């Protein structure tokens, strides 16, 4: 057998085996790649890199909580450890929160395996929990949305609520708006946002929303924020959440309304009024038509029960 030369031994020690797919067939073959991370912290840093800020914060929080509970390196964690962790999730957590946490863990193990840092993707065997889709519970009626907006006395806050609803924007997209992101179109205008997944989209804005926005402008600078804080900077997400919460309470809405509920309302009300589903998809920036289709299932306009003999 050919002896391995001493200068190559160090190189070979840094190579981890991974499963590669042969281009000629669907069979899997064993092949080496250079290790891309030296420790767990470095792997997590690479895994989070380039993700949206909110995703980074949420995923990092869930993975840190998991690793603290495990109290051992990723390479030492077994499937049984993960199963015991999921069996002991605090009952006070929402099912959706549990699913998000487990999704983050699965994603990290899959990423570590693809990089050759982990020998096995034990997360693949994890089963994510299923739960009742509560989207229908979070869709406000047209009357409720208009009451929330009309009872808001502060012009900036009213324009903000109108923009959330009229454009179906995410709160993160609203926070970063500058005047250069708004362009006039005939009697109304359009807003360009940098959204989830690093995607840019441009949304036409109804005239009533546009007029409310233009009244807020008191600076010639195109870099000035559209929705300014008291310190003349951008409103942060927590401030917008407080505005929405206070406005919904003022309107007598006995629900825990969040900023995202205006996005749900936009999609549902537009579909109810006959808007093509592909247009709603484009406006909201959904990557899949099936995501937009959830609103049709949440508020159906027809039922086979109407055809029964009673």
Known catalytic residues are 170, 196, 260, 263, 286, 295
Q: What are the backbone dihedrals phi and psi of residue 190, each rounded to the nearest 5 degrees, phi first?
A: -140, 155
- What the block records as the tokens of 113 is 């395996």
**What are φ and ψ of residue 212, in 5° steps?**
-65, -35
Find out whether 128 and 106 touch, Cβ atoms under 8 Å: yes
Asked whether the beta carbons of 239 and 231 are under 8 A apart, the reply is no
Q: Give the contacts of 12 (CB within 8 A, at least 6 positions apart).
A: 4
The Cβ of residue 279 has, within 10 Å, a number of other Cβ atoms equal to 12
Report angle CA 84, 87, 89 to the nearest 5 degrees: 110
Q: Which residues of 92-126 are buried (b: 16+ CB within 10 A; e: fewer)?
A: eeeeeebebbbbbbbbbbbbbbebbbbeebbbeeb
**What are residue 183's phi and psi, to 5 degrees?**
-130, 140
Q: Which two tokens stand for residue 142?
A: 């047209």
- Let me know how many helices (H) and strands (E) the chain has, helices first: 13, 5
Three-class SS state of 31: strand
User: Which of 184, 228, 234 is closest to 210 using CA atoms?
Assistant: 184
């Amino acid at each position: 057998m050919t002896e391995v030369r001493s200068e190559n031994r160090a190189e070979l020690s840094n190579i981890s085996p991974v499963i590669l797919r042969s281009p000629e067939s669907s069979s899997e073959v064993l092949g080496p790649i250079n290790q891309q991370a030296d420790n767990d912290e470095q792997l997590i840093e690479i895994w989070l890199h380039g993700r949206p800020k909110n995703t980074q914060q949420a995923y990092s929080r869930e993975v840190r909580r998991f690793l603290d509970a495990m109290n051992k390196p990723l390479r030492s964690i077994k499937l049984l450890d993960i199963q015991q962790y999921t069996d002991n999730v605090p009952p006070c957590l929402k099912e959706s929160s549990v699913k998000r946490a487990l999704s983050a863990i699965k994603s990290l193990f899959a990423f570590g395996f693809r990089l050759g840092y982990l020998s096995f993707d034990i997360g693949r065997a994890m089963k994510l929990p299923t739960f009742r889709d509560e989207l229908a519970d979070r869709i406000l009626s047209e009357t409720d949305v208009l009451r929330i907006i009309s009872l808001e006395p502060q012009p900036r806050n009213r324009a903000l609520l109108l923009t959330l609803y009229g454009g179906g924007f995410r709160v993160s997209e609203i926070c970063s708006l500058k005047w250069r992101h708004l362009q006039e179109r005939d009697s109304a205008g359009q807003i360009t946002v940098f959204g989830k997944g690093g995607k840019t989209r441009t949304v036409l804005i109804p005239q009533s929303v546009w007029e409310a926005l233009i009244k807020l402008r008191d600076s010639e600078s195109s870099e000035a924020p559209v929705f300014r804080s008291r310190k003349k900077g951008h409103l942060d997400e927590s401030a917008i959440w407080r505005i929405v919460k206070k406005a919904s309470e003022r309107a007598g809405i006995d629900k825990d309304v969040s900023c995202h509920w205006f996005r749900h309302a936009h999609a549902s009300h537009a579909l109810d009024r006959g808007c093509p589903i592909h247009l709603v998809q484009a406006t909201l920036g959904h990557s899949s038509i099936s995501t937009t289709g959830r609103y049709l299932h949440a508020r159906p306009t027809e039922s086979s029960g109407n055809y029964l003999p009673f």
